[in-house]
Structure 1
């Protein structure tokens, strides 16, 4: 979790002069971001980023996704100017800002800890950056009212910080980051401390806000569902290396390797022992793939997404057929999850709850899957 004191200090640095040198000439279009060969080491042995090359398009909602320690927060801090890379270059809007201090970048950050000033009112929190860069009181008041209306803060503007809930504090932190009109907004796991219902609500609100603004958002999270709901594209990181960049659909349905597949929540990964024409030998048995999935290498993994499996229906011609036993049934309201035993291996299947009879533990079931739904994954 981010240190609240450090986050507040960083927010102060950014708010003091964010956009102060360029606000007259700076175009209002969204800015692209280019990372070229970024390396970051801590001490002699800890490699946080290992040669990161990445382009984030202007106006994109881009998410850095990965487990703790993968380098995503370090990368975000480099974008903010709070860390300096050991090697490589960073360009924002085509301008090299690698050595530019944070208060001279048109970038603002929304921190996980909110980084609000408890001794100031909500209105004064929102106006803080404007006051520090010398805007007149009347203009500050106008802009606070404008951003409050835009984000639908209502009467929250007149409250004290200690009177706010967690969700309200996060909305205020977001409004304060936006009021200075940065070219890029960085979001460091801003929803992780919220309860599930509020988090889901703010995910949708944040996505809609970004589309209305057309601003470049860079979002950090370790939550796969959150990344898929909110993002235009996702970069999955591990060990300081980008493992895959793609749309949510691409990353989920066609993971680049076994790490990405497992991190995206896929349990159905089975080793391929041999390939011949359209067929592969796996731990489940011999299965036919779509010809487009054939590769020259014989090794690798086979991914079977649980939602693509059909249980006890008629097996269409050309589909793969397996036989299994229900080991466990998990009722999740709108869907039902089954753990099936097939040739001594566990296969996960997910069925929509359409009111039909559920399979019981111990039932023998016929499993069918279309060859086009089987995905070959690199090791």
Structure 2
């Protein structure tokens, strides 16, 4: 049904819709877990979108699929929604195998990047559309629309036409329309990407708040690392149709399992390990001592140094690694200062707080110290 053929919500049931169901707020469906096993998807003869994906998402989790364009995250979301069929593998939501279940029979709703609203209709009629298709009686629809509008803080917008609202207001409406039918799982396909930075940050917090209040399982797709870390309980990082790492935001950021994940999470301080033995490694920066927990059987790989773990100037604490560098560039970032340093002819990035810290000038020679526990070995 297109917007041009859709009539306002007057209480008339569309032919062929399901019989009215009594959905009581006191009997909201419980959140469902998701279990994916051996999912494969290929487009054409050469393009592999998913290459044997195994993944478990816990009930009530805010789970994010993170990765660059073409990594397979949107394909995976569309398979969850039933909009794409896998070439192989299985999909369970809760205790049901829904691999072959059509989209309209899955307890799954999707919030798209484009919002997919009916622009010529009011907010009220947009919100009531899914309930109307389910055959919910008019009075129940009115009550549920009022309830969700209050929950999402839509205020007095319910009588306005959607095409007269801002992007942030439309995003709230799209979210409310997806939630009003109380699905077991809510899928969100980069719904904030078209918004400006300030509004985007505000709605990130709102989405997280709503998810925690509802306890519903959210699966969120984004290519924005900061967005994923702010909102998620856990993150899966994908590349070329393969899940590279699954973990909490702190695990993925502080302990990436390989160089791809480290670079995608924004880490510039990656240095090839030339030699290693016991608790030290040789890199272009020099020889650095590691925490014994970082000992690995493999000799090569990469060393990750997070920029916020470096201390510039002052005395080097006992047991810390000491380096000497020259400040090549200083960038003001408000609450923090970023430094580009030259150490032994290679670049090292450092981040320092802008609160009561001494500022180092370009061309200053500085002492750099880092704790062995903050050095992380990363696989190639």
CA distance, structure 2, for counterparts of residue 37 and residue 305 of structure 1: 34
Please give the TM-score of this superposition, normalised by the length of structure 2.
0.93
Q: Render the CA deviation track for 1:142-180: whole Å, top value 9, x for unaligned.
A: 000000111111011111111100000000000000000
Cα drift, residue 23 of structure 1 = 6.6
Counterparts of 1:120 and 1:318 in 2: how far apart (Å)?
A: 67
Structure 1 counterpart of 2:148: 147
Are 1:33 and 1:94, in contact at CA under 8 Å, matched by a contact in 2?
no
CA–CA separation in structure 2 for the residues paired with 1:19 and 1:329: 66
1:284 corresponds in structure 2 to 285
Alpha-carbon distance between aligned partners in 2 of 1:17 and 1:185, rounded to the nearest angstrom: 22
SS at match of 1:260: helix
1:357 shift after superposition: 3.0
Q: CA deviation at 1:356?
A: 3.1
Partner of 1:209: 210
Contact 2:20 2:135 in 1 (8 A): no
Residue of structure 1 equivalent to 2:258:
257
Residue number in structure 2 paired with 1:232:
233
State the secondary structure of the residue aligned to 2:213: helix
Alpha-carbon offset, residue 27 of structure 1: 7.0
- CA-to-aligned-CA distance 1:201-226 (integer Å, 9 cap, x gap): 00000000000000000000000000
Q: Which residue of structure 1 aligns with residue 11 of structure 2?
A: none
Describe the shift of the 1:136–1:21 C-alpha distance in structure 2 as closer, same or farther (beyond 3 A).
Answer: closer
The aligned counterpart of 1:88 is 89
Deviation at 1:314, TM superposition (A): 1.2
Residues 86 and 20 (structure 1), Cα distance of their counterparts in 2 relative to 1, 3 Å cut: farther
What is the aligned partner in structure 1 of residue 377 from structure 2? 376
CA contact (8 A) 1:19 1:104 kept: no
Equivalence for 2:195:
194
Alignment of 1:81-160 (within 5 A): 81-160=82-161
Report the equivalent of 2:174. 173
Question: Runs of at least 4 residues of structure 1 off by over 4 A?
Answer: 16-24
In the TM superposition, residue 321 of structure 1 has moved relative to its aligned partner by 0.1
**How far off is 1:132 after superposition?**
1.1
Q: Which runs of 5+ in 1 are unaligned?
A: 10-15
After TM superposition, the structure 1 stretch with the greater mean CA deviation from structure 2, 68-77 or 347-356, is 347-356
Distance 1:315 1:255, change over 3 A: same
- Conserved? CA contact 1:17–1:104, under 8 Å: no
What does residue 163 of structure 2 align with?
A: 162
Contact 1:58 1:215 in 2 (8 A): yes
Moved more, 332-341 or 151-160: 151-160
Q: Residues 194-343 of structure 1 correspond to what in structure 2 (within 5 A)?
A: 194-343=195-344
Provide the C-alpha distance between the structure 1 equivalents of 2:296 and 2:152, rounded to a whole number of angstroms: 50
Residues 1:300 and 1:19: Cα distance change in structure 2 (over 3 Å): farther
RMSD after superposition: 1.9
Distance 1:207 1:325 in 2: 42
- Give, in whole Å, the separation in 1 of the partners of 2:17 and 2:349: 53
Whether the aligned pair in 2 keeps the contact of 1:234 and 1:247 (CA below 8 Å) is: yes
C-alpha displacement at 1:18, in angstroms? Answer: 9.9
Shift in alpha-carbon separation, 1:192–1:167, aligned structure 2, 3 A: same
Partner Cα distance (1:54, 1:197) in 2: 33
Cα drift, residue 22 of structure 1: 11
Match of residue 49 from structure 2: 48
Distance 1:22 1:41 in 2: 41
The question of whether the paired residues in 1 share the 8 Å contact of 2:21 and 2:134 is answered with: no
Q: What per-residue deviation string (whole Å, max 9, x for no partner) do you get for residues 38-87 of structure 1?
A: 00000111100000000000000000000000000000000000000000
Question: 1:29 deviation in Å?
Answer: 1.1
Structure 1 equivalent of residue 13 of structure 2: none
